[in-house]
Structure 1
Amino acid sequence: MGKFSDVPALQYLAAASGNLAIVCDGMHYGWPSPTLPQIERPANSSTCAHNSTLCIGNEEGSWLAVMPLVGAILGAVTAANIVDALGRKKTVLATAVPFFLSWLMVAAANTSIWLHIARFIAGAADGVTFTVVPMYIGEISDPRIRGMLGSSCSVMWIAGFLLINIIGSYLSISATAIVSSLVPVISFFTFIWMPESPYYLLMQNKFEEAKQSLRKFRKDQDIEEEIERMKGSIQSQTKNTGRFFDLFLIKSNLKAVFIIAGIRGTLIVIFVSNFVLSLMQGKNLLITTLMRCVCLYTLSFNATSLR
C-alpha cells in the first residue's frame, strides 16, 4: 500500500475526472444493446415488437450499431492534429460538447437519419477521447501508479457499457438519452479544474507553467529531476519520429496490431448482446434479457478491473 498512499490525491482525481469522458464513450457504444430490440422491426412485420414510435429494419440497425466506428476514424485523425495545438486539457473538455449534443439528438430523434448522425458525432468524439485521455493520464501520473491509472481507461469504458444497460433497462429511449447527457456535463465541470499536462507545457516551452503544474501533481516531491527527464523525452521524440509502416515492419508492433484487431472484434458481440441473448432464450422478454446483459457487463467490468 505504501506506493499508493504517498501519491498526491490530485493524480487520482485528475484520472477519475478525465475517465468520465471514457464513460461517456462506453455508454454510446453500449447504447445499441438495450435500444435495438425496442426499435428494430421483426422480419415480415410492419411494426416494432414494443410499439415504438421509431421503427427501423435489421440493416439500419446494423449501421446504427457500427456508426460510431465510422466517426471514430474522423475523430482520431482530428485528435492527432489538435492535441498538440489545443493541449490535452482543452481537447478533453472539447469532447464533452459532441457527446452532449449527440445524446440530445438521440432524445429528440423521430427518424433513423438523426440517430445515425448522432451516433457518428459520438464516434468522432470517441476517436478524440481515446487518443487524448490516456495520453493525459500517462503524462500526469507518478511512474509508480502510471500502469494502474492507464489501465483505468478500459475499466471505465466497460463501466459505461454497464451503466447504459442499467439505465436502458428501466427508462424509455428518450429518457435514457436525457439522463445520459448529464455525464458529459459532469465530465466538463469537473475536469475544467484540473491542471494542464506538464509534458505538454514543456513542449510549448512554457517551463515555469510546467513546473507549477507538475508541482501540483507531485506536491512535496522534488520535481527538478523529473522535469529534466521530460525535457530529454521531448528532445528524443522530436529527433526520432516514427512512421506508420513501422506498425507492420517491426515484429513486436505487428504482433500488437493482430492482438488489438482480434480484441476489437468483441465489440460486435457487445453491440448486439441484448439481441443475441433474446434469440438464445427464444422469447422476447426484454427486461429479463436486459438484466442478463447487465450481468454480462458486470462480469466484464470485474475482469477488466483485475487485469
Structure 2
Amino acid sequence: MSIINPNEKNGRKENKTWPQYLAVLTALLSMFCSGIHFGWPSPSLPRIFSDEYPFNVTAEEASYITIIGPVGDVAGNILSSLLVDLIGRKWTILLIGAPQITSMTMIYLSTYSPALLYAARFIGGISEGACFTVLPIYICEVSEPKVRGLLGSSFSLILMFGILFVNIIGSYVTLYTAALIFLCCSVLFLVTFSQMPESPYYLLMKNRVEEARSSLQRLRAREDVDAELASLTSDVRRQMAEKGRFRDLLTIRSNRTATVVMVILRFLQQFSGVSSFTFYAQLLFKEATDAIPQHWAAILMMVIQAIFTLIAVLVVDVVGRKPMILTSIGGCCLSLVFNAVFFGVRDWSDVDVSSLTVLPLVGLIVFMVFFASGLGSAVNLLLGELFPAAVKAKAACIMNVVFSVSMVVSSKFYQYMADTYSLAIPFAFFALVQSVGFVFCFRLVPETMNKSLEQIQQELKGNREDKNRT
C-alpha cells in the first residue's frame, strides 16, 4: 500500500524524506566498500612488508600496488559514464559490486602470487571510479533540494567510514581474514540496493513517464506527484534539447563554467596530499612520530576526519558550499605549511626536535579537519549539481579522470620525494598548490545551496529569472 502524507504546508502536501534517505544510503554502501579499497594500503602495506606475507615486496613495488588502484579508477570512470545513460543509474551502481567482490577474492588468494595484489587493486579501482562517477548523479536526481545538500555530502562521509573501517579491521586481523570481511560488505550492498528505485530523471530521459511517476511516488512516499513530475519533465526536456557531446562541456557557456570549476576542485582535492596521507598513513606516522603507535595514529586521524565530515554534512545546507570550500582550502594550506616547516627543520638543520614528534600528528589531524569541512565533502556534491542531464555522465567521467590521474601523480610524487629527499618537499608543494587554488575558487566557485538543479543551470547561463523556483 502506498503511503500518503496528510501533512500540508502553505496549502501544499509535504513529501516524506525517509525513502530518499533509504535509497541514497543503500546506494552509498558501494561507496563504503570503495572506501575500504581506498584505505586498504594503510594497514596492509606494513603486513606485506612483514613476515606475515609469504613473498618479499620492495618499497618500490609496494608503491605501484598502491597507485595502480587509481589507474583502475580511470577505467571505471570511462566505463560507467558509458553505461549510466545506457542501462540506467541503478543498474550501473549495482554492477559496481562485481569488481568489488572480485578484488577482495584476489587479495584473499594472493598467497599464491603477489601479482594478484596488483590485479586486485586495479579491479577494485574500477569500482571506485564508477562510484565517483555515478553516485553523485543518482543522489542529486533522487533528492529534493531541501535534503540534497545533506544526502550529497553523505557521499564523502560514507567514504570516510569505509577508510576508517579498513584501518581498524586491517590493523588487527590478517590480510586474508580482512578480505573475507570486506567481501561480505559488498554482498550486503547488492542485496539492499537492488530493492531501490531508478532515478526519475533517467526514466524521463528515456520517455518512461509512468515508471518515473512510480519512482517519484516511492521516493516522496505519496501518491500525488503530478506537479513535481510535470516540472521534472519540463526540466529534462529542456536539458536534453542541448546536445550531449563531450565538446559541449566547453562550447556551451554554462557547461564551460562548471567544467573549469570542477577541474580546479578535483585537482585541488588530490594535490592537497590527502590520498598520499591516506595510502601511506601508518608508514608516514612510523617515520614522523613516536608519540603513539602508528596504527593508532592512523585510526585517530581517520576518526577525526569522519567526525568533521559528519559535521560538514549537517551544516552544508546552512553555511553553503562556497564558504565551506574556501575555509577548507585555507586551513589545509596553513596546516601543510606547519608540517613542511617541521620536517624542514628536522631534516635540514641542527635543531633537535626529538621532543616535539607529536607536532606532525597534530598538523595532520588539523589538516584532516579542514579537508573534511569542504574539499572532502562539498566538492563531490557540486559534481552532481553543476551539470545538466544531457552531459552529466560525460562531465562526471572527465572530472573523475582528472581526479584519478591527479591521485596517481600526487601519490607517486609524495612517495618519491619523501623517500629520496624529505617529507618537507611534498608538504610544501601541496601547500603552494592550495594557496594558488584559493584565489581561483574565490573567484569562480558558485553557490548552489537551496537551489533546484534547473535554477542552477539558469544561473550558470547568466539568467536570474528562475531565482525563486523550487
1:37 aligned partner: 46
Residues 250 and 86 of structure 1: is their aligned pair in 2 closer, same or farther, counting only changes over 3 Å? closer
The answer to whether 1:299 aligns with 2:308 is no
- Aligned to 1:194, the other structure's residue is in SS state coil
AA at the equivalent of 2:155? C
Q: Structure 1: which 5+ residue stretches go unaligned?
A: 41-47
CA 1:252–1:193 in 2, change beyond 3 Å: closer, same or farther?
closer
2:68 is the counterpart of 1:63: no
Distance 1:208 1:112, change over 3 A: same
Distance 1:246 1:164 in 2: 43
Inter-CA distance 259–205: structure 2 relative to 1 (3 Å threshold): closer
* Cα distance in 1, alignment partners of residues 81 and 114 from structure 2: 31
Query: What do the CA deviations read for 1:230-266 (whole angstroms, capped 9, x no partner)?
Result: 2222222222246344699945643442232121231
Q: 1:257 aligns with which of 243, 256, 263?
A: 263
Greater CA drift, 133-142 or 189-198: 133-142
Contact 1:246-1:253 at 8 Å conserved across structures: no
Task: Tell me: higher relative CO, structure 1 or 2? Use CA pairs within 8 A at least 6 residues apart.
Answer: 1
C-alpha distance in 1, partners of 2:44/2:151? 32
Equivalence for 1:43: none
Q: 1:206 to 1:149 in 2, by over 3 A?
A: same
Contact 1:23–1:157 under 8 Å retained in 2: yes
Match of 1:202 among 185, 189, 204: 204
The TM-score, its normalising length taken from structure 2, stands at 0.59
Q: How does 1:134-173 map to 2 (within 5 A)?
A: 134-173=136-175
Displacement after TM superposition at 1:289 (Å)? 1.3
Q: Residues 197 and 259 (structure 1 numbering): CA distance in 2 closer, same or farther, change over 3 Å?
A: closer
CA distance in structure 1 between the aligned counterparts of 2:309 and 2:114, rounded to whole angstroms: 33
**Equivalence for 1:45:** none
Quick one: which amino acid aligns to residue 17 of structure 1? T
Q: 1:54 to 1:282 in 2, by over 3 A?
A: farther
Deviation readout 1:265-295 (Å, 9 max, x if unpaired): 3111111011100112369x9xx21121111
Alignment-derived partner of residue 93 in structure 1: 94
Q: In the TM superposition, what is the alpha-carbon distance from 1:162 to its structure 2 partner?
A: 0.2
CA contact (8 A) 1:247 1:253 kept: no
Of the structure 1 ranges 100-109 and 222-231, higher mean CA displacement relative to structure 2 is found in 222-231
Give the aligned residue type for 1:260. Answer: R
1:79-133: CA deviation from partner (whole Å, max 9, x where unpaired): 1111111111111111111101100100111322110111100111111112112
Secondary structure of 1:86's match?
Answer: coil
Contact in 2 for aligned 1:64/1:119 (Cα 8 Å): yes
Cα distance in 2, alignment partners of residues 36 and 15 from structure 1: 32
Q: Identify the residue that residue 269 of structure 1 maps to in structure 2.
A: 277
Deviation string 1:210-234 (CA, Å, 9 cap, x unpaired) is: 1011111112263112112222222
Letter in 2 for 1:293: A
Match of 1:127 in 2: 129
Seen in structure 2, the aligned counterparts of structure 1 residues 51 and 88 have a Cα distance that, compared at 3 Å, is closer
Give distance in 1, aligned partners of 2:311 and 2:210. 39
Q: Which amino acid aligns with 1:107?
A: Y
In the other structure, the counterpart of 1:27 is 36
Are 1:198 and 1:214, in contact at CA under 8 Å, matched by a contact in 2? yes
**2:324 matches 1:290:** no
When the two chains are superposed, the root-mean-square deviation of aligned CA atoms in Å is 2.3
1:77 and 1:258 mapped to 2: Cα distance? 20
Secondary structure at the counterpart of residue 73 of structure 1: helix
User: Which whole-Å CA distance do the structure 1 matches of 2:208 and 2:53 have between them?
Assistant: 55
Distance 1:56 1:262, change over 3 A: same
Q: Residue type of the partner of 2:29?
A: L
Q: Distance in 2 between matches of 1:251 and 1:83?
A: 23
Q: Which amino acid aligns with 1:156?
A: I
Mapping of residues 99-118 of structure 1, within 5 Å: 99-110=100-111, 111-118=113-120
Q: Matched residue of 1:209: which SS?
A: helix
Checking the alignment, whether the CA contact within 8 Å between 1:74 and 1:127 is kept in structure 2 is yes
Q: For the Cα contact (< 8 Å) 1:29–1:161, is it kept in 2?
A: yes
| Partner of residue 287, structure 2 | 279
- Shift in Å, 1:75: 0.7
Structure 2 spans left out of the alignment, 5+ residues: 1-7, 313-470
Letter in 1 for 2:38: Y
Instruction: Quickly say closer, same or farther: Cα 1:252–1:227, change in 2 above 3 A.
Output: closer
Q: Is the 8 A contact 1:104 1:177 kept in 2?
A: yes
| Residue aligning to 1:190 | 192
Answer whether contact 1:76 1:127 (CA < 8 A) is retained: yes
Q: Which residue of 2 is the match for residue 232 of structure 1?
A: 234
Provide the identity percentage: 31
Residue 27 of structure 1: how far off its partner (Å): 0.5
Matched-pair contact (CA < 8 Å) for 1:162–1:298: yes
* Structure 2 residue aligned with 1:81: 82
